[in-house]
Each structure stands twice: as C-alpha cells, then as structure tokens.
Structure 1
Amino acid sequence: MLDPLDPNASDHDTERRKSGLLGGLRASFLTGIVVIAPIGLTVYLLWTIMGWIDSVVLPLVPGPWRPEQYIGINLRGVGVIFFILFTIVIGWVAKGLIGRSLIKWAEGLVDQMPVVRSIYNGLKQIAETVFAQQDASFEKACLVEYPRKGIFAIGFISTNAKGEINRVAGGMDPLLSVFVPTTPNPTSGFLLFFKESEVTVLDMTVEDAAKLVISAGLVYPDEATAPETPLVRIPEKAVRESWR
C-alpha cells in the first residue's frame, strides 16, 4: 500500500499504470499476430501458387480466349480456371473407350523408351498413390514404442500388412503398417511394421494428431470425452479401525 504522505506515491502509481498499459498492448499485439499470421501466410501461399499456375498455363491459351484482351486487366486466377476445366475435360475423355485406347497406345509408346519409361512409371505411381480416393488416407492415430521401449511416438495406421511381410515377420500376430512422422514436417517419416498387440489406438482424430506433430507438442486436442477416473471409496468401518 502506498503511503499518502510519500511525495513519490503518485509517481509509483503512474509507473504502475504505464506498465499495465504496455503489458496489455503487448498481449493484444501477440494475440493479433497469432490470428493474422496463419491467415496471411495462407493467403500469400494461395496467391503465389495461383500466380505460378497462371504463368505456366496462360501462355498456352489462345489470345482471343484470354479475358484481359477485353477488360484490359490481368486477372490472377484465370489460368487456374483454365487448368481446372482442361483437367476435367481430359478426365472425362480418359474415362471413355476412345480415351482409354489412346492412353493405352501412348503408354505402350512410352514403354519403348528406357529413361522416359522409368520417369513416367514413377510419376504415375506417385500420382495414383496421392490422388486415389480409395485406401489413400490414414485410418487412425496411434501410439507406438519407438525408437526403443519406454519411448512413445505418434503414428498413423495405414493398412494391415499383407503378403510376404506379414507372413515372414508377423507369425501368429498380424502386423500393422504404421507411418511415424517427423516433427515439424509430417510429410517425411518412417514406415514401420508393428504387431497389433504393440499398437495403442488413440481416440483423437488423425487431424488432431497431425496438429500435435506439426506443433512439436504445443497444440494438444481437447479431451472432452475423456472417461472420468473412478473414486476409490474406503469403507467407514475400515477408517474407524485404522484410527484405533
């Protein structure tokens, strides 16, 4: 408590108000950074990607089809629209009989080129793995003991191990294919095979587990449905006997 007879009391009070004001401004600034940074980076990345697609696609579009010829403004994103429409048309043609025949003929032609064949088959396999709608996503998040017993890592269960791997290493206990990502880049990691009894499936979603990995353990999901720990009740008779 400040002494009212102290001539420096008002100065101390003023300094306290200034420090409180600066602390509030600092907290508001940091909160604003947390809100603005993800939005700004997302907009910047989308804007950059659209510009890159426009620079690749628009030179291939005939001049009369470009809207800037009529409005005089170079609209960003026009190349993205042309690319989406072109991809839809190609996919529609590829699903038809003529399209499948042309693709088969072109792949047969590529198979006759040694270097081109290797590049094409590798890129085709990657594209089918990434964009295939079936069996392309992780099923559940889990905990595994890795890289040794007593240390736990978050993993993503992809599929049940099949074929030779499950037959050689699994034995009586089936194996699970688990992808263990690295932090903070979850796109790299290790494909490991664990026995089903060694994998602990988590209740959190795959998205929440990915956020936990990317944030290096700073962002934990809300455990709203966590089971309550039951209370251990001691009989009253036992309590009375313990005090005798």
Structure 2
Amino acid sequence: MKKYFVTGLLIWIPLVITFVVLAWIITTLDQILLLVPPTFRPDALLGFHVPGIGVVVSLVVIVATGLAAANFVGQRMVRFWESLLSRIPVVKSIYYSVKQVSDTLLSSNGQAFRKALLIQYPREGMWTIGFQTGSPGGDAAHHLGNDFVSVYVPTTPNPTSGFFLMLPRKDAIELDMSVDEALKYIISMGVVSPPPSNRPPALKPAAALLNQ
C-alpha cells in the first residue's frame, strides 16, 4: 500500500501544482479587466464569465505594445514616457532598476544566463553549477582586470535566491548542457539528471568564454 500511495503521489503532485499555478496566473490576469469600463467588459457583452479572457487581452496588449514600439512614433512615445518617469524620485529608482535587469535577462543580444558553468564553491574541492551573467564592470573591473567572469550561483530548490561571484575565467568550466537542463538539475537537488554529454570526460575550462 505504501508503494502504491507514493506512486500515486508522484503522479498527482505535479498535475495539481501545475493546475494551481495556471489557475493563479489566469485569475491574476483576469483582474486586468477591472481597468476596463463595466459596460465594455466581456461579462457584460457576453452575459457570462469567460475564464482566461484576461490572458488573451494581456497577450494582445503586449504584442500591440511591441509592434507600436518598433516604429519611429512608438520609440518617441517610449522615450517620452521614460523621461517622465525619470522625474519622479522613488518611481525612477524602481523603474530603471527593474528595466536594467529585464533588459539584461530578456534581451536577445545579452549574454546573461546563456551558459551553465561548473565552479568550485563554497570552497576548493566542492563543485556547484552557476550561470554566466557577464563580466565584472565599474571599479571592480579596474581592480580585477579582464580575465574574470561574473557568475550567479542559485540556491536549491529555490533558484530565485543565490550568490553573485566574480572569479577567474580559468576556474569556470563551461558545461555541455542548456540553461533549462541546468535549472532542472538544481531545482530537483540533483535528482533530475541532464542527458549524458558527448564531450570527453576530462574537464577543460572554457577558454573562449565571453570572447564572442
């Protein structure tokens, strides 16, 4: 009975958590419709509630915003909006901090979280997986030089918290696995192993790291 109970849990837990997260996302996005005048809401137009309509509206708004910002007029509007926000003291700090992080993580030209690295942490002889976030900047680059790499080491099983390290490039070994595979490996505490690599077993530092 214990064996069957555990087997059933392993089947139901991922399903339940998936549906709970999806329900939370749909419910949250449906709250966006509260910004629409009551007479123009889908509930009033159709006569009944349509779950998930907020998701569709959010996607349409996001895509439309991206299309508008891609032309000359849209770019002028974005610059005007940002210049307006830059004059509000508290809002300026929050907005530009979030914008800098989102631009770094989501930009197709950025190098953040593009590589999974194997490093020795928290001491020599102990290994963990981190993610390349770039190279040291500012005054840190002046003291460290160009032969260092910036690495984010997430915690397990919550990868949203972690540690930021700057270590010599020769001490960072580039792994033959995608960022998604590395995240699954970290979140599962090593239970969900990535597929075997075709690379030879000898560990060689990524000499070309950040030189792309």
Asked if Structure 1 and Structure 2 have the same fold, meaning a TM-score greater than 0.5 normalized by the shorter chain, the answer is yes
How far, CA to CA, are the matches of 1:80 and 1:193 in structure 2? 40
Q: Which has the higher contact order (CA 8 A, sep 6+)?
A: 2
User: SS of the counterpart of 2:129?
Assistant: strand
User: SS of the counterpart of 2:73?
Assistant: helix
How far, CA to CA, are the matches of 2:107 and 2:156 in structure 1? 26
Superposed structure 1 runs of 4+ greater than 3 Å apart:
62-67, 160-167, 224-229
Residues 111 and 132, structure 2, Cα contact 8 Å, conserved in 1: no
User: SS of the counterpart of 1:190?
Assistant: strand
Question: Does 2:191 match 1:218?
Answer: yes
- Give the unaligned 5+ runs of structure 2: 203-212
Question: Does 2:195 match 1:189?
Answer: no
How far, CA to CA, are the matches of 1:164 and 1:119 in structure 2? 23
RMSD of aligned residue pairs (Cα, Å): 2.7
Task: Return the TM-score normalized by structure 1.
Answer: 0.71
> Structure 1, residues 140-165: CA drift from partner, whole Å, max 9, x if none?
22221112212222212233446654
Q: Which has the larger Rg?
A: 1
Cα–Cα, structure 1 residues 126 and 199, in superposed 2: closer, same or farther, change >3 Å?
A: closer
Cα–Cα, structure 1 residues 227 and 150, in superposed 2: closer, same or farther, change >3 Å?
A: closer
Which residue of 1 is the match for residue 122 of structure 2? Answer: 147
How far, CA to CA, are the matches of 2:51 and 2:9 in structure 1? 27
Deviation at 1:69, TM superposition (A): 2.8
Which residue of 1 is the match for residue 14 of structure 2? Answer: 38
> Structure 1, residues 48-77: CA drift from partner, whole Å, max 9, x if none?
11111112x112224454333354321111
Counting matched residue pairs gives 202
Task: Return the TM-score normalized by structure 2.
Answer: 0.80
Residues 149 and 166, structure 2, Cα contact 8 Å, conserved in 1: yes
Which residue of 2 is the match for residue 69 of structure 1? Answer: 44
